[in-house]
């Protein structure tokens, strides 16, 4: 069975920014502060290294409700038995990904335009990541930023719950929620800070307080 998921505060682990703490420690601290999902994203690693990393993050989060997501690498996701895989528009198609992961793993897809949002099949994909909202040095090859207006249009075109990403900091929480995204995905706002638990807590509190009820 797929696990229920909560996109409120979605941490994407980046090995270059997680330097003060290991990726597993950063995940543990962030989840203690309120992060609800943690993605392992390591572009330079081998599949074997990603599997080891995912296992260390799973172990760090054992006993918490947070879900572990693998970026891009289906083989690593299946082998490490993570909760979800996240793919982009340039990766294999969601249908092929779904065939390979089976029915029980969640599937996230990045979308960056209204057209891509309308093309999402809610029978195959479980959630979408929308961005980059703002330009960010964390992903130098990112697509053209969509801004908050673009975010609102893409959310409206998409049949699934969404998490916004790209240059997001605490001060953007209310605007992102007002645009209709369910949550925020961040790298540097947690990984790149001296105290990931505190950074996550400050974000999470603002997300919970800012959510329209």
Query: What does the binding site for Mg ion look like in residue numbers (CB under 5 A)?
Result: 72, 88, 91
CB nearer ligand TZP, residue 97 or residue 186: 186
Residue 60 CA to residue 128 CA, distance in Å, equals 25
CB nearer Mg ion, residue 20 or residue 43: 43
CB nearer Mg ion, residue 143 or residue 195: 143
Quick one: what does residue 8 bind among Mg ion, ligand TZP, none, with the CB cut-off 5 to 8 Å set by partner type? none
CB nearer ligand TZP, residue 142 or residue 198: 142
Q: Maximum Cα–Cα distance for the chain, whole Å? A: 43
**Dihedral sign, Cα of residue 41, residue 190, residue 28, residue 22:** positive
Examine residue 132 and say whether the peptide bond preceding it is cis (omega within 30 degrees of 0).
yes
Q: What share of the chain is helix, strand, coil (3-state, %, to 5)?
A: 40, 15, 45
Specify the DSSP class assigned to residue 176: H
Binding characters for ligand TZP, 132-171, by CB under 6 A (x = yes) = x---x-xx--x----------------------xxxx---
Taking the complex as a whole, how short is the minimal distance between the CB of residue 43 and Mg ion, in angstroms? 9
Quick one: what does residue 88 bind among Mg ion, ligand TZP, none, with the CB cut-off 5 to 8 Å set by partner type? Mg ion
Name, in order, each residue with C-beta under 8 angstroms of 187's C-beta and a sequence gap of 6 or more.
11, 12, 13, 14, 17, 136, 138
3 is in an annotated binding site: no
Tokens representing 53 are 């990393």
72 is in an annotated binding site: yes
Taking the complex as a whole, how short is the minimal distance between the CB of residue 83 and Mg ion, in angstroms? 18
Binding characters for ligand TZP, 168-207, by CB under 6 A (x = yes) = x-----------------xxxx------------------
Tokens representing 58 are 């799973």
CA angle 36, 182, 172 (to 5 degrees): 95
CB nearer ligand TZP, residue 81 or residue 142: 142
Tokens representing 212 are 């329209």
Which residues contact ligand TZP (rule: CB under 6 A)? Answer: 12, 131-132, 136, 138-139, 142, 165-168, 186-189
């Amino acid at each position: 069975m797929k696990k229920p998921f909560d996109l409120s505060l979605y941490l994407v682990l980046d090995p270059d920014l997680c330097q003060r703490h290991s990726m597993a420690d950063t995940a543990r601290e962030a989840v203690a502060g309120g992060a609800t999902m943690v993605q392992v994203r390591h572009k330079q690693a081998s599949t074997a290294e990603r599997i080891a990393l995912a296992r260390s993050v799973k172990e760090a989060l054992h006993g918490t409700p947070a879900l572990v997501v693998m970026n891009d690498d289906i083989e690593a996701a299946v082998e490490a038995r993570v909760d979800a895989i996240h793919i982009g528009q340039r990766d294999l198609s969601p249908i092929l990904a779904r065939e390979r992961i089976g029915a029980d793993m969640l599937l996230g897809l990045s979308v960056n335009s209204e057209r891509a949002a309308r093309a999402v099949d809610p029978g195959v994909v479980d959630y979408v990541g929308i961005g980059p909202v703002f330009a960010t040095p964390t992903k130098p090859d990112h697509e053209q930023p969509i801004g908050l207006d673009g975010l609102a249009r893409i959310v409206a075109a998409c049949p699934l719950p969404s998490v916004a990403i790209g240059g997001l900091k605490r001060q953007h929480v209310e605007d992102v929620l007002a645009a209709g995204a369910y949550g925020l995905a961040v790298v540097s706002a947690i990984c790149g800070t001296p105290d990931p638990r505190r950074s996550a807590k400050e974000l999470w509190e603002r997300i919970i307080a800012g959510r329209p009820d």
